[in-house]
Amino acid sequence: GENVEQHPSTLSVQEGDSAVIKCTYSDSASNYFPWYKQELGKGPQLIIDIRSNVGEKKDQRIAVTLNKTAKHFSLHITETQPEDSAVYFCAASFHSGGGADGLTFGKGTHLIIQP
């Protein structure tokens, strides 16, 4: 089955600086890579996703890059703000258009924005 490794487990950055979280996956058949933000006591909220036919995707201060050859993908947050403080999870799955679609998650990165 799929295995997703996520690093670092904790990341502390100064407000206004950039933050980068990295994930690797094991199953070369995986073709869908979402990122979720989870605040304390709440459910995961999708912030950005990328599919394997795209190398990079950007949405305002958030961007995701994908390297299929190396089987790794990264989340980049620029101009960090206090409200970016949360736990971020990467995930991977194979979307076939039918059959099982369970996401495999990394263990999460606790992002702390220092004022």
Partner 1 sequence: NAGVMQNPRHLVRRRGQEARLRCSPMKGHSHVYWYRQLPEEGLKFMVYLQKENIIDESGMPKERFSAEFPKEGPSILRIQQVVRGDSAAYFCASSLDSGNTIYFGEGSWLTVV
100 binding partner 1? (CB under 8 A): yes
Cα–Cα distance for residue pair 88/64, rounded to 1 Å: 13
* Burial bucket for residue 93 (CB in 10 Å: 0-12, 13-18, 19+): buried
Of 77 and 90, CB closest to partner 1 = 90
Contact stretch for partner 1 (CB under 8 A) within 14-22, 52-60, 65-73, 99-107: 99-107
Would you count residue 53 as binding partner 1 (CB under 8 A)?
Answer: no
Sign of CA dihedral 104, 47, 109, 32: positive
Site for partner 1 in 9-48 (CB under 8 A): 32, 34, 36, 42-46
Token look-up 């995961």 returns 44
Binding footprint of partner 1 on the chain (CB under 8 A): 6, 32, 34, 36, 42-46, 49, 89, 95-108
